[in-house]
Amino acid sequence: MKIPLFRPAASAEPMATRLAQALAAVLRSGTYILGPQVQALEARLSALLHGRETVAVGSGSEALLLAFKSLGIGSAGGGDALDEVLMPTYTFVACAEAVLGAGARPVFVDSAPDDFLPTLAHFRNARAPRTRAILAVGLFGDPNGLPELAAYCRDEKLLLVEDVAQCLGARASDGIAAGNAGTWGDAAAMSFYPTKTLGAAGDAGALAFRDPLHASKARLLRNHGYHDGQHHCLGHNSRMDELQACLLNAALDDFPDHIARRRAIAARYLSAWADLPIRLPPDSPGHAWNYFVVRLPGPRERETFAARLAASGIATRIYYEQPLHRHEALQPWHGNGALPHSETLAGCSLALPLYPMLDDEEIEYIIGAVRRAAATGA
Query: At residue 252, does pLDDT exceed 60?
Result: yes
Taking alpha carbons only, the member of 168, 207, 161 closest to residue 60 is 207
Model pLDDT for residues 299-331, shown as the tens digit of each residue: 999 999 999 999 999 999 999 999 999 999 999
Mean pLDDT in the chain? Answer: 95
Q: Which helix (H) or strand (E) holds 258?
A: helix 242-272
Query: At residue 98, does pLDDT exceed 50?
Result: yes
The whole-model pTM stands at 0.95
Predicted confidence band of residue 10 (pLDDT cuts 50, 70, 90):
confident
Average the pLDDT over 284-293 and give the result: 95
The sign one gets for the Cα dihedral 175, 293, 280, 315 is positive
**pLDDT computed for residue 176 by the predictor:** 47
Model pLDDT for residues 175-223, shown as the tens digit of each residue: 545 689 999 999 999 999 999 999 999 999 999 999 999 999 999 999 9
Per-residue DSSP letter, 132: E
Architecture of domain 254-375: Alpha-Beta Complex (3.90)
Query: At residue 108, does pLDDT exceed 70?
Result: yes
d(CA 355, CA 199): 11
d(CA 347, CA 300): 9
Model pLDDT for residues 43-81, shown as the tens digit of each residue: 999 999 999 999 999 999 999 999 999 999 999 999 999
Spell out the domain ranges in the chain: 9-248, 254-375
- CATH class of the domain whose range is 9-248: alpha beta
**pLDDT computed for residue 376 by the predictor:** 66
Query: At residue 11, does pLDDT exceed 50?
Result: yes
Taking alpha carbons only, the member of 4, 37, 276 closest to residue 12 is 4
Percentage of the chain modeled with pLDDT above 90: 91
